[in-house]
Amino acid sequence: MKFSTKAIHAGNEPDKETGAVNVPIYATSTYANEAFGVSKGFDYGRTINPTRVALETNLATLENGKYGFAFSSGMAATHCIASLLEKGDHVIVSQNVYGGTYRIFERVMRKLGLDFSWVDTSDYEKIGVALKPNTKMIFVETPTNPMLTLTDLDMISDVARVNKLISVCDNTFMSPYFQNPLDLGIDIVVHSTTKYINGHSDAIGGCVVTKRDDLSEQFKFLQNSIGAVPSAFDCYLVLRSTKTLALRMERHNFNAGKIAKVLESEHSSKINRVHYPGLESHPQHQLAKKQMRGFGGMISIDLGSFDNAIKFFNGLKIFSRAESLGGVESLVCHPVSMTHASIPKEEREKYGLTDGLIRLSVGVEDYDDLMEDITNALGEVK
């Protein structure tokens, strides 16, 4: 079965009692036993919920995995993955990951005895240098936020296999519609479902998907032990949203692709650099074509200075000035002062995350309106 069909049907069986085509929102914290020791396989709402099971089945199917686990946020999903590790273990992480990933690893997990190296995982040699005898995991984000740097997932799964590491890919930016890391040999996929998967900017959530039976057993234990599970209502919202994921991703990709080309070809006097994996000028355009089926809806542009970035930011009318990304509505963000404020200046400037950088989450509005908005706002920039 192809993606759009699976998106609509996986986990979404019509209700057995009523035929309702949508999975009910099971608002229940517990389940009654018929008699001593006789249950229907449901005991307590943190451990299991039918709406959550439907969502988990759906997400596992879309990532071509076997097991899905839903969480109350993307960070809760990442926390669960880090909880696979033990004191003294070392992790290699892509150097410009989501700011919250940097924060939980450096400021929460390090205190508990885990060690992290921040590495340009697009470079095989640098991974080799960073490996230690106690390295247990390699955690990559591709494309990265906000620089849109890619990591070769085939290469990462090779490195992981040879060195007996657990490989993890944060696939939030591409969504399962454009990229499936498990197909390339990665062990674990993590998403902030808050972004493209839910796509309507009305729920916070996360998920983990794997094919590995051993990891699935651990995730089931950790999800229940830590308890950062989503409500049945939020599971329903995300399950509703994946039905249109293919349609939305096609439109995000179409709009962003056209906008990136125009920004590069017609506005080079004001924009130093357009970062978008679909542009031939992107240093990893060939890799993007190899491991992704589209290029997504995220564009970053370097306007050269803080002043220019802020003039452009304030000049936009359709794009909302907001954190987050992947929703139907277009958003603009100044990463240095918003999403990536927790990363030290020396760290971020090493990889081009400058004061002049603006990140656009291109929504599914009409292309002409979005382009006009951007052109007008660029008029404010000297």
Query: Of the two residues 76 and 155, which places its CB atom closer to ligand PLP in the complex?
Result: 76
Hey, how many other C-beta atoms are within 10 angstroms of the C-beta on 353?
Answer: 23
Active-site residue flag, 98: yes
Spatial distance between the Cα atoms of 338 and 332, rounded to a whole number of angstroms: 11
Contact between 73 and ligand PLP by CB under 6 A: the answer reads yes
In eight-state DSSP terms, residue 109 is I
Residue 248 annotated to the active site: no
Considering beta carbons, is residue 6 or 195 the nearer one to ligand PLP? Answer: 195
Write down the least CB distance from residue 192 to ligand PLP, Å. Answer: 3
Cβ–Cβ under 8 Å, residues 168 and 302: no
Residue nearest ligand PLP, Cβ-based: 74
> How far does Cα 283 stand from its chain's mean position?
22
- Distance CA(209)–CA(11), nearest Å, equals 15
The Cα–Cα gap between 270 and 77 comes to 39
Cβ-based neighbour number of residue 36 at 10 Å: 5
| C-alpha–C-alpha distance, residues 192 and 172, integer Å | 6
Q: Please say which residue, 83 or 172, places its beta carbon nearer to ligand PLP.
A: 172
DSSP state of 14: P
The answer to whether residue 302 is catalytic is no
How many residues at the interface with ligand PLP, by CB under 6 A? 16
* Residue 63 in tokens: 């990532």
Query: Among residues 196 and 312, whose Cβ is nearest to ligand PLP?
Result: 196
Angle 364-367-373 from CA coordinates, rounded to 5°: 105
Residue 75, interface with ligand PLP (CB under 6 A)? yes
- Residue (of 237, 252, 123, 241) closest to 178 by Cα position: 252
Question: Taking CB under 6 A as the criterion, which residues in 81-120 touch ligand PLP?
Answer: 98, 100-101
Annotated active-site residue 46? The verdict is yes
Minimum distance of ligand PLP from residue 87's CB (angstroms): 24
Please say whether the beta carbons of 104 and 348 come within 8 A: no
Q: Does 175 bind ligand PLP (CB under 6 A)?
A: no
Residue 240 exposed, middle or buried by CB count within 10 Å (0-12, 13-18, 19+): middle
Distance CA 291, CA 41 (A): 40
Residue with tokens 């995350």: 353
Q: Which of 56, 63, 152, 170 binds ligand PLP (CB under 6 A)?
A: 170
List the x/- string, 113-152, binding to ligand PLP by CB under 6 A: ----------------------------x---x-------
Residues 178-197 that bind ligand PLP (CB under 6 A): 192, 194-195
Report the nearest approach of ligand PLP to the CB of residue 168 (Å): 11
Which residue in the list 6, 52, 195, 248 is annotated as catalytic? Answer: 195
**Smaller CB separation from ligand PLP, 58 or 145:** 145
In a 10 Å sphere around its CB, with 0-12 CB exposed, 13-18 middle and 19+ buried, how is residue 121 labelled?
Answer: buried
User: Of the two residues 159 and 203, which places its CB atom closer to ligand PLP in the complex?
Assistant: 203
Q: Which region, judged by CB under 6 A, interacts with ligand PLP, from 54-62, 70-78, 152-160, 312-320?
A: 70-78
Asked if 74 is part of the footprint of ligand PLP (rule: CB under 6 A), the reply reads yes
- When the beta carbons of 81 and 119 are compared against ligand PLP, the nearer one is 81
Q: Which of 26, 67, 98, 236 is catalytic?
A: 98
Catalytic residues: 46, 98, 170, 195
Interface residue list for ligand PLP (CB under 6 A):
73-75, 98, 100-101, 141, 145, 170, 172-173, 192, 194-195, 204, 206
